[in-house]
Structure 1
């Protein structure tokens, strides 16, 4: 029998919202401008789950803050925008109706959270949101997840984290909580050995 949970923590990018191209195509532009190199999009897979400043550090750009701000500008100008995966709002609404505590733990800054998530009205279903502004610790550090669980007033054993990346998987291992692998938005399963593999957002409803 599948385990049931009282709380769900979600990643946003490539889990609730399809944001891969809107983030990575502008990043290709930044890399071309800053490094004078043309990177195939596959080379950017390992950046999923990183904060923007962590990406800048990894790339070794000269002026991280200014370059990151320009990347954010390109992202927000990108025509495709953040698109919810099918059934995501139905899942969030049903979980709320069944009194499941729902949280967000994301590497997004709050301003971007407002643009991508709140603008769609999805925040009405969320009880706790821990974003990059809220703590100096980022994935794969367990502290943001532990902070969310504390605010949810639940035990770690009562919560599952739904995410798409190796960073999500590792933060669950470090925090000692269950991980649900959202394959619908994942760009690579390398290093992910999840016991719970989800093929469609609707499968989340089987966990409550």
Structure 2
């Protein structure tokens, strides 16, 4: 069986995009307003691993849709927007030049994807995107990743999924894909083989060279 890597699927938040501060500080504001609770920044970091509406539900808000929409409004009004982690321009350009297929699999809503990712100019390299609205169930279920593989027209064993959470790792395993950890965005320590722990985005190119040699 050919295990050569022919495609890479990327998570977004905490992997390609640094969105932690722009999400958590508005969430603190929302929690104080609607729930009357003061939760610390560190208390809320763990929720970065979940889709937005799931986070709202887990925190105990009553009107999920209304509270989520208000959170989105606060996020988009926040003075610091999403930023690319350094090196991703070169990574995407290099992968494209190597004819490695690039896709996005994220729990981000499509509207927020357009706000956060489109301005980076990297979507021209992306052959598929699977976002929150595209599947009824999300990571750690493998369905979003398997849909990404289908859209790339590749077998799961020929894809690496790059993410920053245990849900990303579990989804990869359940989908039959290899997983590489974006350690620059990871909050929790994961049990990952050393060569699949990426210390910076440019390590993606080194990993690909090693795996495909």
Q: Same fold, TM exceeding 0.5?
A: yes
Task: Quote the offset at 1:172 in angstroms.
Answer: 1.1
Task: Quote the offset at 1:159 in angstroms.
Answer: 0.4
After the TM superposition, which of the residue ranges 18-27 and 32-41 deviates more from structure 2? 32-41
Return 5+ residue gaps in structure 2 as ranges: none
Counterpart of 1:69 in structure 2 is: 69
Counterpart of 2:29 in structure 1 is: 29
**Cα distance in 2 for residues equivalent to 1:43 and 1:69:** 22
SS at match of 2:9: strand
Counterpart of 1:107 in structure 2 is: 107
Number of matched pairs? 204
Counterpart of 1:127 in structure 2 is: 127
Is contact 1:45-1:188 (8 Å) kept? Answer: no
**Cα distance in 2 for residues equivalent to 1:120 and 1:178:** 26
Is contact 2:46-2:187 (8 Å) kept? Answer: no
Counterpart of 1:58 in structure 2 is: 58
SS at match of 1:102: strand
Counterpart of 2:89 in structure 1 is: 89
**Cα distance in 1 for residues equivalent to 2:76 and 2:171:** 28
TM-score (norm 1): 0.94
Matches within 5 A, 1:150-161: 150-161=150-161
**Cα distance in 1 for residues equivalent to 2:27 and 2:47:** 10
TM-score (norm 2): 0.92
**Cα distance in 1 for residues equivalent to 2:118 and 2:137:** 23
Which residue, 190, 193, 203 being the options, matches 2:191? 193
**Cα distance in 1 for residues equivalent to 2:110 and 2:168:** 19
Provide, for residues 100-119 of structure 1, a one-character-per-residue CA deviation record: whole Å limited to 9, x for no partner: 00000001111111110012
Is contact 1:184-1:199 (8 Å) kept? Answer: yes
Provide, for residues 74-107 of structure 1, a one-character-per-residue CA deviation record: whole Å limited to 9, x for no partner: 1111111001011111101110111100000001
**Cα distance in 1 for residues equivalent to 2:120 and 2:175:** 30
**Cα distance in 2 for residues equivalent to 1:70 and 1:38:** 18
Structure 1: 4+ residue segments shifted above 2 A: none
**Cα distance in 1 for residues equivalent to 2:45 and 2:175:** 24
Say yes or no: does 1:163 pair with 2:163.
yes
**Cα distance in 1 for residues equivalent to 2:149 and 2:49:** 19
Task: Quote the offset at 1:4 in angstroms.
Answer: 5.1
